[in-house]
Structure 1
Amino acid sequence: MAETIQSTTNSKTSGAAGQAEGSFVARFFRATEIDTRMLGMIGALLIIWVGFHILTGGLFLTPRNLWNLSVQTASVAVMATGMVLVIVTRNIDLSVGSILGFTGMVMGVLQARLLPELFGFNHPAIWIITLAGGIAIGALIGTLQGSIIAFLGVPSFIVTLGGLLIWRGATWFVTSGQTVAPMDVNFRLMGGGTEGSIGATWSWVVGIIACLAIIAAIINARRQRKRFSFPRRPIWAEYVLVALGCIVVLGAVSVANDYYWPIAIARRYAEANNIPWPEGGLLISQGIAIPVLMAIAVGIVMTFIATRLRFGRYVFAIGGNPEAAELAGIKTRWVTVKIFALMGVLCAIAAAISTARLNAATNAQGELDELYTIAAAVIGGTSLAGGMGSIAGAMLGALVMQSLQSGMVLLGIDSPFQRIVVGMVLVTAVWLDTVYRSRAK
């Protein structure tokens, strides 16, 4: 009898402790307002990283591979930010990879063949005119497709599927299938590499500025909540968010600075600048790559558009209930046109990054990027049913997709099987989104 009473007491004690622990976890997430879906995606990304690191014998989680991973993710991440707005409005864009290839080829011809005849090779104005021309063409293509969808009533699936075929074929006709190379020396900086990075000192400057921006954003949000009498997070939760944000930022900067120039390039640099070659070699940090900074800048701008501007509110209103948005006076057709025009601009920026990284414009450039872009947006929490999406989540989804691809390349897995894995991940992400939405009702 005494043993039974003791066992019951222990059971109640452990149950109370479990409830207290669960209550603490729940109170922590409620106080910090951390998105549990985003946290789950970060957890999945860490599992992928650790798993590939073990399977590759310690090759994955190295500064070199993580630096390359960030550069490879940049172009898809840029397009994924626009795909969020497209999917939120219950549309789809299957042509982004072909638009990337077409605008990339046009930019290649501009800087390698046409503009040098006017300005000479490597003139400082070439890369500016090239990028501006590519963005203008991307915007025109997006506007054309958006107008057909909005004003002619053709479903976006059909319009962009046709665009996938049309712009891929147009890419071939620009040069009759020839690869265009090399790119302008200044244009190549947008692709990363040894010269396309900002070095250790400026990377730390960027990291500190980012930390100050995080602090300023949290302080401003707290003031706004107080101003409108909204509930505020506890002070300790604000400190936790600042600490977590700064740790992630400074940790990323540290990893980027731990990747050094290749020995051959460092030796040539030392010889050109009459620097004595040290016994252990000359260690020059790559720092943050320029394409990564471009992707982050695009992400910040797109987040501002989606969350702070009237246009962003219209986008989510249309995705939530198109009929109600129309009755509320929102010009849904023009919003749709603007969304696809913006998507075209982002495709051109991604094309500049991709073309600069390859130092060439090819006919195969951007193939299957539509799959990776849509998958990144969906994995990042954008619902195919519309009305729900996250810019930051889409960029994190792009990193997940590129991590899978990079890890499989390191393992020597064939390209066809890589596509099978990507397809399975996309289907699983949509299924999880469906389950999440059904439970949220």
Structure 2
Amino acid sequence: MSGSLLSKLEIDVRMLGMLAALAVIWIGFDILSGGVFLTPRNLWNLSVQTASIAVMSTGMVLVIVTRNIDLSVGAILGVVGMIIGVLQVQWLPAWLGFEHWLTAPIAVAAAIVIGGAIGLFQGWLIAYLAIPSFIVTLGGLLIWRGAAWWVTTGQTVAPMDTRFKAFGGGVEGALGATATWVIAAIACGLIVVALGLARRRRIRFGFPVRPGWGDAVIALFACGAVLIAAAIANAYPLPAGTARRWAEANGIPWPDGGLFIPHGVALPVLIAIVVGLAMTFLARRLRFSRYVFAIGGNPEAAELSGINTRWTLMKVFGLMGVLCGISACISTARLNAATNSAGSLDELYVIASAVIGGTSLAGGVGTIAGAMLGALVMQSLQSGMVLLGVDTPLQNIVVGAVLVLAVFVDSLYRRRIK
């Protein structure tokens, strides 16, 4: 009966399983932490911490789909973060002065360009010189991590430009209650429109469609999740000191009980969502994505069919580099400093997120939404263990075990559907 219902709703069983696993993780950590894990404050911080990994995991899906791997994403984040840190602290102030409004846009543009250039270079080595991606990106991990140290000879660079700090969340990157509800309303509208357009497209081409009540149920649950997330973001208030300074700056008297000013959704979370939507559109609607999945399904057949497999593969790694640049902005802004340790072990979390999200290491299969949900699962594990005071070595053991388990489950699933 349940299987028939899921088939009518066209719900991915693996995605449903991940949601169930996430619920178990959250409830379990909340019980073990004495009710701390599921507080608005911790969930808000969890969403910010997930943003950087989630952005990179969307690119890792396409990399793995093509039967490749990228072990250098954390090191690319590190070197790009160090470069844009030096750019903001040393180079741009000499030309524009401190706190210039152009500093943040230039830093973001530089991160995207540098990350993309590194990705394209590695993609060229893999695609045109036929060097295995494992070797190229393993070498890249060492090279770019060393380059990050070389930029400042190991010194931490801080602080970042005030406008740039908004990319990391915190008070500067909190959008507030009104903007959060507006974004939630727009998101709900887009969900309904997307379901309607998908239904109309299927009818026009004669494809089977879900029953009307099925679309209504999916819209109800999706919009409910969006509104609950918005309510949680608005339930976390600004610190009393920050709220008092805001009230004084705006000429608002400070009441005896203080003011409740919500954080709202964080800018890095919004960036991750926008990147996820853009990558989903790219993976589902563009010719480029059809080439990517064709290469992952059968590289020889894809090349014989006329696809320029080498140029496509190079673009995949270039896109991965661009996403690393965006994540570098989020990570550097969140820390308000560029450090040599930034991005350490991120490659493990990014790969694990993609694999947990249903991307097969055998290639040809993967979803952007699954990878982002996988990133939330991985970050929830780490956040929960930090709350419980678990030592870092044991955290790494758990993450490694989860990655191995995810690959094992994927192999079982693939054998079952054959």
- Distance in 2 (CA, whole Å) between partners of 1:280 and 1:231 is 58
Deviations 1:196-236 (A, max 9, x none): 11100110000000000000000000110111011111010
Deviations 1:23-82 (A, max 9, x none): 2x2232111111110000000000000000000000000000000000000000000000
Q: Which residue of 2 aligns with 1:395?
A: 372
Q: Does 2:339 align with 1:327?
A: no
Q: Specify the SS of the correspondent of 1:124.
A: coil
Q: Which runs of 4+ in 1 moved over 4 A?
A: none
The counterpart of 1:260, out of the listed 216, 237, 261, is: 237
Q: Which residue of 2 aligns with 1:56?
A: 33
Q: Which residue of 1 aligns with 2:413?
A: 436
Q: Does 2:397 align with 1:420?
A: yes
Larger radius of gyration: 1
- 2:77 maps to a residue whose letter is L
- Distance in 2 (CA, whole Å) between partners of 1:238 and 1:362 is 47
The counterpart of 1:358, out of the listed 327, 335, 360, is: 335
Q: Which residue of 2 aligns with 1:235?
A: 212
- Give 1:18-33 correspondences, 5 Å limit: 23=1, 25-33=2-10
Q: Does 2:124 align with 1:147?
A: yes
**Cα drift, residue 245 of structure 1:** 0.8
Q: Specify the SS of the correspondent of 1:326.
A: helix
Q: Which residue of 1 aligns with 2:351?
A: 374
- 2:41 maps to a residue whose letter is R
TM-score, scaled to structure 1: 0.94
Q: Does 2:250 align with 1:288?
A: no
- Give 1:34-433 correspondences, 5 Å limit: 34-433=11-410
TM-score, scaled to structure 2: 0.99
Count of equivalent residues: 418
- Give 1:6-21 correspondences, 5 Å limit: none
**Cα drift, residue 167 of structure 1:** 0.2
- Distance in 2 (CA, whole Å) between partners of 1:316 and 1:250 is 34
- Distance in 2 (CA, whole Å) between partners of 1:28 and 1:124 is 54
- Distance in 2 (CA, whole Å) between partners of 1:71 and 1:341 is 25
Q: Between the two proteins, what is the percent identity of the paired residues? A: 66
- Distance in 1 (CA, whole Å) between partners of 2:247 and 2:174 is 18
Which runs of no fewer than 5 residues in structure 2 stay unpaired?
none
- Distance in 2 (CA, whole Å) between partners of 1:273 and 1:206 is 25
- 2:181 maps to a residue whose letter is W
Deviations 1:248-300 (A, max 9, x none): 10010000000000112112222333322223221000000000000000001
**Cα drift, residue 136 of structure 1:** 0.7
- Distance in 2 (CA, whole Å) between partners of 1:88 and 1:426 is 17
Which runs of no fewer than 5 residues in structure 1 stay unpaired?
1-22
